[in-house]
Amino acid sequence: MIETRKYWLDTMLKITTPVLDALSRDCLCEEMPVEGKLPKEDRAQFTYLEALGRSLLGMAPWLSCTKLEGEEEKLRIKYAKMARQAISNAVNSEAKDYMNFRSGHQPMVDAAFLAQAILRAPAELWEKLESKDRQNLIAAMKQTRTRKPYACNWLLFGGMIEVFLYYAKETDWDPMRIDYAIKQHEQWYLGDGIYGDGSEFHWDYYNSFVIQPMLMDILKLVGREYKDWEEMIPEIRKRASRYGTVQEHLIAPDGSYPMFGRSLTYRFGAFHCLAQTVLDNRLEPALTYEQVRCGLTAVIRRIMSFPGNFDKNGWLRVGVCGHQPGMGEGYISTGSLYLCSAVFLPLGLAPSHVFWSGEDKPWTAVKMWNGESSMECEHSI
């Protein structure tokens, strides 16, 4: 539906424009507020890289979409140029917005999100960068290697950075960091599309925020380098598709979804995995693309309907439904919130794709709670 796609695009740009505009002008540190439970001087070390990596994470497929026309194509060209300038300033030691890849553990996270974003749009966010910017970016990514990731989803951050270095043709890319990340998650698989986050299960959305999308992207890019990696690809894709189905089932008829676990202030970024299964055309047969579009649109509209999501200058504020500062953990600050962009991955599909062009269809919870007689029970995999 043309109107729905426009709504998604307008919403994505409303969220991400303040970040990319300010950073492309080398003014992000000056203009972006730093809201959070910890003192500003603590989170200011990290929040700007968070804002960049997480904004581009969801935008990247749209920035690389080659099948757009008219006003949307003009916007895509404009924002791709803005994104490249933002990256340039972030890794330029002479810029005011030069970002911290060097110290603290948090930069590992958002260097990885930035790497994932670039690898989702390499023609725009890598090949068109100036040579000096590419070299600065490689150097910045390598700076994260001095810290050891925690034994949880953080292993994938180290792995994703190495995948970026592999793509950049750096001869010292380290396959062991990738191997350990994917093999350890294989040990942590629990069944029915769910991984433990480390050796224990955590009832939260980190299977979607990080684990499933990064596993899929890592193996998509380097999976054929080693036979044992390649053999893992079908099963990892199958699990992600299953988890995408679970996520679709979580969307209530009114567009709400269960609020449990950490990092809920990432808002509809909780549906990163479902959005990626759409982008990769890997929905399970039980779902249609049209019903997923309608379900995700309901989620976006529900959250965006609350006043207080943004401050007077258009920056995201801590919360889920409006401004709820108590919802933010100590590691949450303004830049963290931009992981919500992950829901917009399907904008990387052409407008002619059935996800956008098909007629509206009810999602699972709508059909179930309307008493549709065609509903059938499901079983785990």
Phi, psi angles (nearest 5°) of residue 375:
-65, 140
Phi, psi angles (nearest 5°) of residue 189:
-70, 135
Render each residue's pLDDT in the chain as its tens digit; 381 residues: 689 999 999 999 999 999 999 999 999 999 999 999 988 888 999 999 999 999 999 999 999 999 999 999 999 999 999 999 999 999 999 999 999 999 999 999 999 999 999 999 999 999 999 999 999 999 999 999 999 999 999 999 999 999 999 999 999 999 999 999 999 999 999 999 999 999 989 999 999 999 999 999 999 999 999 999 999 999 999 999 999 999 999 999 999 999 999 999 999 999 999 999 999 999 999 999 999 999 999 999 999 999 999 999 999 999 999 999 999 999 999 999 999 999 999 999 999 999 999 999 999 999 999 998 777 777 666
Amino acid identity, position 228: D
pTM over 0.95: yes
pLDDT digit string (tens) for 251-304? Answer: 999 999 999 999 999 999 999 999 999 999 999 999 999 999 999 999 999 999
Domain ranges of the chain: 2-369
How high is the pLDDT of residue 373? Answer: 75
Phi, psi angles (nearest 5°) of residue 214:
-70, -40
pLDDT digit string (tens) for 54-94? Answer: 999 999 999 999 999 999 999 999 999 999 999 999 999 99
CATH class of 2-369: mainly alpha
How high is the pLDDT of residue 376? Answer: 77
For residue 24, the Cα-to-chain-centroid distance in whole angstroms is 21
Q: In angstroms, what is the C-alpha Rg of the chain?
A: 20
3-state SS, residue 349: coil
